[in-house]
Amino acid sequence: MATVFYDKAAVNVSFGDINETLLASNCSINLASPSQPMYAIGNKGPLGQFPAGARAGDMSFGFITSITGVYNAQKGNIINFLASGIKNSSNSEASGVQIKCAGITGYGFLNSYSFSVASNSVSTSSASFTFFGSGVQLPVSGFLYGETNETPSQTGLLATGVVHGRYTSLTPLRTTIASPTETANVFGADYSLSMAHSPVYKLGQEFPLTTFYTTAQESINVTEDIFDNALAFDETPKDVTLELKGLGNIGHGGMLIGVSGAKQQGTSMTAGLDDIIRTQKSLTAVY
């Protein structure tokens, strides 16, 4: 029976010999087989609909930002590990990862990753993958079925290892100005990373021979309370390392996100009723 309740639909990501089940709150999978009609002189109707490209799919999911794993001696989750690895990779040829939800499996390339941190709130993340398929491997396979949980634990526990705005200070993102001397309070930050992949197709084969990682761009939008009007024509790039912490990480290291050569590209302020004026600045880094 294909009726699957959410408790049997965990999102699992695996790469090589590592895999992690994420605390996903939603997940969607799409598979497309593009086709286009062909017309010819002498025929009123179409000759038919013909494939316009290789079958491809995508998958996106939102999840609670967790710091439960350790990858390459760095705390974090597997998505953050993949994002860090891809954007800093020296090898252009990319390798996908296997993603599974409720029996549907795809072999995907991370094309976007984002998270947000706000005061007194649980941090949430999202990720999306593109499924190109490979060789004779279909982009998406499997059928819907509910995956049996491990023995459910009914014990009340604190959710340690979940990134929380209460324990994350984002100190490196604070704006400081010299006159008057002030340091901003940071109310929250939104981070996003988008990556481009280029599949290489050859004649005689539907799915790509290989896939290359090409470029990546990441941005951080910070909400604080200082408006820095001294934005330069050519801002000096700077390296920023964010450390996300949660319950259980107090006094210990959290998940690190290194942003290299980030340039501030904008600053703004918003005023609304019954609130203080909040300012935003956006930092952008490219790879």
Partner 1 sequence: MLGRIRREAEKLTINGTGIQGVQSMSAQYNSVGGSPLRNLGIDDIKYLPEGPQTARLEVDTLLTYVLPSGLDLGPSLDPMQNFTGDLPFSGVIDYGSKQLYFTDAYLETYGVSCGVGEIPHSVTTSVIYGDFGTGSFPAWAQASATDPSLNITSYNSMEINLDEFKTNRVSSFSVEVATPRVPIYTVGLDIPTGVIAGTPIEVNVNFNLEVDDYEIKNMRFVPDETTFRNTTITLNKNNSSTPLLQYSFDNMLLTSESFSAGQDSNAGVNFNLRTFILR
Number of residues that bind partner 1 (CB under 8 A): 53
Q: Return the exposure string of 45-71: e unless at least 16 CB atoms fall within 10 Å of the residue's CB, then b.
A: eeeeeeeeebbbbbbbbbbbbbbbbeb
The C-alpha atoms of residue 33 and residue 52 are separated, in whole angstroms, by 8
Q: Which of 168, 211, 267, 280 binds partner 1 (CB under 8 A)?
A: 168
Closest CB to partner 1 among 40 and 273?
273
Q: Pick between residue 137 and residue 241 the one whose CB is nearest to partner 1.
A: 241
Stretch 211-240: interaction string toward partner 1, x if CB under 8 A: ------------------------------
Q: Which of 28, 137, 149, 176 binds partner 1 (CB under 8 A)?
A: 149
Binds partner 1 by CB under 8 A, chosen from 153, 179, 181, 229: 153
Q: Which residues contact 239 (CB under 8 A, 6 or more apart)?
A: 258, 259, 260, 261, 262
Give me the 2-41 binding string for partner 1, x by CB under 8 A, dash otherwise: ----xxxxxx---------xxxxxxx--------------
Q: Taking the CA of residue 18 as centre, how many other CA atoms within 13 Å lie in the half-sphere pointing to its CB?
A: 14
Examine residue 147 and tell whether it contacts partner 1 (CB under 8 A): yes
89 touches partner 1 by CB under 8 A: no
What dihedral angle (degrees, nearest 10) is formed by the CA atoms of 245, 247, 251, 256?
-20
Amino acid at 212: F
Distance CA 134, CA 129 (A): 14
What is the Cα–Cα distance from 248 to 250, expressed in whole angstroms?
6
Task: Compare residues 8 and 238 and give the one whose CB is closer to partner 1.
Answer: 8
Shortest distance (Å) from residue 82 CB to partner 1: 19
Q: How large is the C-alpha radius of gyration of the chain? A: 22
Beta strands 124-131 and 56-64, pairing class: antiparallel
Q: How far is the CB of 276 from partner 1 (least distance, A)?
A: 6
For residue 158, state whether it binds partner 1 (rule: CB under 8 A).
Answer: yes
Q: Of 188, 199, 208, 254, which lies in the binding site for partner 1, with binding defined by CB under 8 A?
A: 188
CB neighbourhood size of 96 (10 A): 21
Is the Cβ of residue 118 or residue 138 nearer to partner 1 in the bound state?
118
Site membership for partner 1, residue 50 (CB under 8 A): no
According to the binding rule CB under 8 A, does residue 274 interact with partner 1? yes
Buried/exposed code over 233-246 (b: 16+ C-beta within 10 A; e: otherwise): eeeebeebebbbbb
The binding track of 244-273 with respect to partner 1, each residue x by CB under 8 A or -, is ---x--------------------------
Which residues is 141 bridged to in the sheet? 105
* Residues contributing to the site for partner 1 (CB under 8 A): 6-11, 21-27, 61, 63-64, 101, 117-122, 147, 149-159, 162, 164-171, 185-189, 247, 274-276
